[in-house]
Amino acid sequence: MRRYIRQHREALYAELLTSGKLNGHLADLNEQAEDMFFRLVKQMADRESVTEQFKVQDQMLWV
pLDDT at 17 over 80: yes
Which residue type sits at 27? A
Radius of gyration of the chain (CA): 19
Residue range 10-14: average pLDDT? Answer: 95
Q: How confident is the model at residue 32 (pLDDT cuts 50, 70, 90)?
A: very high
pTM of the model: 0.68
36 compared with 61, residue with greater pLDDT? 36
Which residue type sits at 47? R
- What is each CA distance from 60 to 39, 48, 56, 57, 63, in whole angstroms? 24, 15, 10, 9, 5
pLDDT at 59 over 90: no
pLDDT at residue 49, rounded to an integer: 78
